[in-house]
């Protein structure tokens, strides 16, 4: 019986494709790809010629039996998306879920993933984080989602496109106020940038330099300060104020 390899591909820089991924892409009988034209370009650059089959959100369910039949025939298959790790805000979940239920061998070939790359260099806590994928496109749903996250103490991570980055930052400003945020843009590419500040600061930076609103983004928002810590900070400030007043310092 064949193996399904879930293969991470680069998120910008071709050198991020692992030698293991490159070898497997050349060895499998078939590559199931989110966009076959896009992946054909990658395979061409690697000097590989492998049959491709499309697998995207609209045909994924219909492809399960077809791909499973090929595994049963003993063929190995690679699953790739346009960029980064399949299934992470990308197609593949239905296929992997169904093949796992059927007891097939599924092997991850790790590599680039924008969320991990962004977190690894942002300087926000990474011991606990909450990945939220893309925020809803509609303003009301987006506001609700952000409100539901307002008390979470983990670092919050969102994916965003250039079309909606300003709307999302404005909604984050409304929901989270002055909270610290790190915006990772164009990771591994020529114009890779990390911006740091609250959401309004970052919007102002985009007004000053519209290039900052171009490309692909990972938005990372500092988690909420736990209630007891916020209270402790408050009490500390009160105590300091009382001490200053007691010493007759004019405040």
User: Residue 181: is it exposed, middle or buried by C-beta count within 10 angstroms (0-12/13-18/19+)?
Assistant: buried
Does position 91 interact with ligand SAM (CB under 6 A)? The reply is no
Q: Single out the residue of 83, 96, 135, 171 in contact with ligand SAM (rule: CB under 6 A).
A: 83
If one asks whether residue 18 binds ligand SAM (CB under 6 A), the answer comes out as no
**Is 143 among the residues that bind ligand SAM (CB under 6 A)?**
no
Nearer to ligand SAM, 77 or 114 (CB): 114
Residue 21 touching ligand SAM (CB under 6 A)? no
CB atoms within 10 A of CB 150: 12
**What is the per-residue DSSP string for the chain?**
--EEEEE-B-SS-GGGS-HHHHHHHHHSSEEEESSHHHHHHHHHHTT----EEE--TTTHHHHHHHHHHHHHTT--EEEE-SSBSTTSSSS-HHHHHHHHHTT-EEEEE----HHHHHHHHH-S--SSEEEEEEPPSSHHHHHHHHHHHTT--SEEEEEE-TTTHHHHHHHHHHHHTT--EEEEESTTSTT-EEEEE-HHHHHHHHHH-GGGGSS-EEEEEPPPPPHHHHHHHHHHHHHHHHHHHHTT---
Residue nearest ligand SAM, CB atom distance: 84
Q: How far is CA 220 from the centre of its chain?
A: 10
Q: Which of residues 5, 129, 159, 176 is near ligand SAM by CB under 6 A?
A: 159
Q: Specify the residue, 79 or 187, whose C-beta has the smaller distance to ligand SAM.
A: 187
State in angstroms the smallest separation of the CB of 95 from ligand SAM. 15
Does residue 85 touch ligand SAM according to CB under 6 A? yes
Site membership for ligand SAM, residue 218 (CB under 6 A): yes
The verdict on 172 binding ligand SAM (CB under 6 A) reads no
Instruction: Give the nearest distance from C-beta 194 to ligand SAM in angstroms.
Output: 10
Taking CB under 6 A as the rule, does residue 129 contact ligand SAM?
no
Report CA torsion sign: 93, 94, 95, 98: positive
Q: Identify whether the C-beta of residue 95 lies closer than 8 Å to the C-beta of residue 63.
A: yes
Residue 34 lies near ligand SAM (rule: CB under 6 A): no
Shorter beta-carbon distance to ligand SAM: residue 187 or 203: 187
Please report how close the Cβ of residue 249 comes to ligand SAM at its closest, in angstroms.
Answer: 49
Nearest distance from C-beta of residue 227 to ligand SAM, angstroms: 31
Count of chain residues binding ligand SAM (CB under 6 A): 23
Minimal distance, residue 235 CB to ligand SAM, in Å: 40
- Smaller CB separation from ligand SAM, 41 or 177: 41
Contacting residues toward ligand SAM, per CB under 6 A: 11-12, 81, 83-85, 88-90, 113-115, 159-161, 184, 186-189, 216-218
């Amino acid at each position: 019986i064949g193996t399904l390899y879930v293969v991470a591909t680069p998120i910008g820089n071709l050198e991020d494709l692992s030698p293991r991924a490159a070898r497997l892409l050349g060895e499998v009988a078939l590559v199931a790809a989110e966009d076959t034209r896009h992946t054909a370009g990658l395979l061409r650059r690697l000097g590989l010629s492998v049959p491709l089959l499309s697998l995207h959100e609209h045909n994924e369910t219909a492809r399960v039996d077809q791909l499973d039949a090929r595994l049963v025939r003993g063929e190995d298959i690679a699953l790739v998306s346009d960029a980064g790790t399949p299934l992470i805000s990308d197609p593949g979940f239905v296929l992997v879920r169904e093949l796992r239920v059927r007891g097939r061998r599924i092997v991850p070939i790790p590599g680039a993933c924008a969320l991990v790359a962004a977190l690894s260099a942002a300087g926000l806590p990474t011991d606990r984080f909450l990945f939220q994928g893309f925020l809803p496109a509609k303003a009301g749903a987006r506001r609700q989602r952000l409100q539901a996250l307002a008390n979470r103490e983990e670092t919050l991570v969102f994916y965003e496109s250039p079309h909606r980055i300003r709307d999302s930052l404005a909604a984050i400003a409304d929901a989270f106020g002055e909270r610290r945020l790190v915006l990772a843009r164009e990771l591994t590419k020529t114009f890779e940038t990390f911006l740091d500040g609250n959401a309004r600061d970052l919007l102002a930076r985009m007004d000053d330099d519209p290039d900052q609103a171009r490309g692909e983004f990972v938005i990372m928002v500092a988690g909420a300060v736990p209630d007891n810590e916020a209270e402790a900070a408050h009490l500390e400030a009160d105590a300091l104020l009382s001490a200053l007043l007691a010493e007759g310092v004019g405040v």
